[in-house]
Amino acid sequence: MWPWGHLAFGYVWYSVWSRTTTREPPTEVSTLAVVLGTQFPDLVDKPLAWVFGLLPSGRSLAHSVLTMALVVGVLYFLARKYRRTDLVTAFGIGYASHLVGDSLSALFDAEYGELAFLLYPLMYTDYGEEYGFLYRLAQLDIGDFLGPQFLVVLAVVVLWIIDGAPGPGALGSLLKRAYDRLAGTSQSESEHGG
């Protein structure tokens, strides 16, 4: 599944969960948590396998349900202090949807051995030679971009708009706060000669 497919799949899960439990669409900040959760396994595994050669596959460490349980558990423990477990729930739903999305073709094709990555490092599938990031990029086909996932993404964009298009406002606020902090730090360092 492509990144936008994971994003669309996870957003639908979270929107349904949010409307079922709170009777409200997703909030700005929780949407950002879902976005991060849907991309997290690939953001960890792909560079570590394809660029640095530290993992056996682009679906290994962060694609494991064991790692997911550990990461979400630690985040939940930390979030309780700030009473923001809702964000961990959103991240966890996004993360879980990524693993389900990556499992669908193996399930539909009844190739259950291909699901071994879900139990990494206890089990994993040797997918053969892993090539670098640029090799992978060169292998992309324009049909992959305009295939059925693209149509699903368009449908999910409509759902996102119906939900009030949450996320960009919170991202803008976070970036502005980060900029203000950096600008304030730079200004105070130059005032103090430092």
Cβ atoms < 10 Å from Cβ of 100 = 16
Alpha-carbon dihedral 23, 27, 33, 38, rounded to 10 degrees: 60
Please give the chain's pLDDT, 194 residues, in tens: 888 889 999 999 999 999 999 999 999 899 999 999 999 999 999 999 988 989 988 899 999 999 999 999 999 999 999 999 999 999 999 999 999 999 999 999 999 888 999 999 888 766 555 555 555 556 566 665 566 667 777 777 777 777 787 877 777 787 788 788 887 765 655 666 55
CB burial of 29-45 (b: ≥16 within 10 Å; e: otherwise) equals bbbbbbbbbbbbbbebb
Report residue 174 as tokens: 């976070």
